[in-house]
Structure 1
């Protein structure tokens, strides 16, 4: 499967990321340079539709929600409409928990990772732990996210460490201010799977929406 288009390598950015690529979705989604993306939620009949573009405005990832879904299902597609991930919320869970599967599958054998809030009650900051499918004990997370999703200021880390792998920040434009829409940027550091990080951002949006509801 061909990788979505990416912009040319940008100028050096602040240090972060990891030395050796750690692919979650696929190795070719681990760029050897910083990837800058923009995330925009689309408002319509279907809840949970997103468009993720590069610095040139080209679509890299599209996210499709569902009209009616017991599991609150989201499908992540590449620019050509090929399914990359199927994400769904666990109906019965002590924490807000989402699971991501390869392609459009929901088979247990295709599970890639599980993301869950560290606590149901998070009044000020959002904290989310991510466990790869091979990490069945869930004793130590493989990745984590901390920050304020309300302010769109979140950081992603490798495991339970301070190794930064990606950051999310709010973006403002004349059009978004006029229409009241929500745009936010995503900085993915070198050798980090940008499709994986994009999926986590979508899950964060869904967790935030559930909390508000």
Structure 2
């Protein structure tokens, strides 16, 4: 559990979420106070991230295997335990999340593009028990040049997290700064941010063609 004095937010989401904990991955990642996290991207050929609080205490790590046909990411806690396996489907920007190390474990959520043609990127998130066409959460591009994003509940304007992208320069690493509202599963927001980074990378490649 993260201590509240060590997890002050960068900026507080303007609309308060439900006072009841929103557990996606585990109740221990739902804090009753705003949580601020920094996802630092390692300068390697692998997609590796170090996730810390604002005092640089390790909270999570994200790693990927070297040689795979599909994109895979593994979210691990500070003790090295794998809590989430993210896998991108072939030939499209759709990610599935599974509990633990194996894809044979319980599926948690699916993240996909809202539509193929968008002026500003929006990404829909469907929890595994959702049988409707209405998403449970939505990632919305909130600033220019994909530098700022918000996570909303479904199709509403209720903001439960804010994500800011900082481009790396010289010896500084590229990073994402996430602010998560109270009672929102911050491990879930970290997982969404990792898939968001992949989406941004693919869009930059398409623009360069």
TM norm. shorter chain > 0.5: yes
Separation in 2 of the partners of 1:74 and 1:37? 18
Question: What's the offset of the Cα at 1:68?
Answer: 1.4
Query: Are 1:145 and 2:139 matched, yes or no?
Result: yes
Contact (CA 8 Å) 1:30, 1:190: kept in 2 or not? yes
Q: What residue in structure 2 maps to residue 120 of structure 1?
A: 116
Structure 2: tracts of 5 or more residues without a match: none
Query: Are 1:49 and 2:48 matched, yes or no?
Result: yes
Separation in 2 of the partners of 1:70 and 1:211? 20
Question: What's the offset of the Cα at 1:200?
Answer: 0.2
**TM-score using structure 1 length:** 0.86
Separation in 2 of the partners of 1:70 and 1:170? 27
Question: What's the offset of the Cα at 1:150?
Answer: 3.9
Question: What's the offset of the Cα at 1:180?
Answer: 5.5
Separation in 2 of the partners of 1:170 and 1:102? 27
Query: Which has the larger displacement, 54-63 or 151-160?
Result: 151-160
Root-mean-square deviation (CA, aligned residues, Å) is 2.2
**TM-score using structure 2 length:** 0.87
54 and 7 in structure 1: CA distance in 2 versus 1, 3 angstrom threshold: farther
Contact (CA 8 Å) 2:75, 2:83: kept in 1 or not? yes
DSSP 3-state at the match of 2:103: coil
Q: Which aligned segments of 4 or more residues in structure 1 are displaced greater than 3 angstroms?
A: 9-15, 148-151
Question: What's the offset of the Cα at 1:10?
Answer: 3.5
Contact (CA 8 Å) 1:17, 1:166: kept in 2 or not? no
Separation in 1 of the partners of 2:145 and 2:57? 26
Question: What's the offset of the Cα at 1:121?
Answer: 3.1
Separation in 2 of the partners of 1:150 and 1:59? 29
Q: Residue by residue, what CA displacement relative to the aligned partner does 1:157-199 show, whole Å, maximum 9, x if unpaired?
A: 1111111100012448xxx433253122100000000000000
Separation in 1 of the partners of 2:3 and 2:107? 26
Contact (CA 8 Å) 2:74, 2:85: kept in 1 or not? yes
Query: Which has the larger displacement, 200-209 or 10-19?
Result: 10-19
Q: Residue by residue, what CA displacement relative to the aligned partner does 1:30-64 show, whole Å, maximum 9, x if unpaired?
A: 10000001111112132x11111101101111000
Query: Are 1:103 and 2:103 matched, yes or no?
Result: no
Q: What residue in structure 1 maps to residue 21 of structure 2?
A: 21
Query: Are 1:182 and 2:171 matched, yes or no?
Result: no
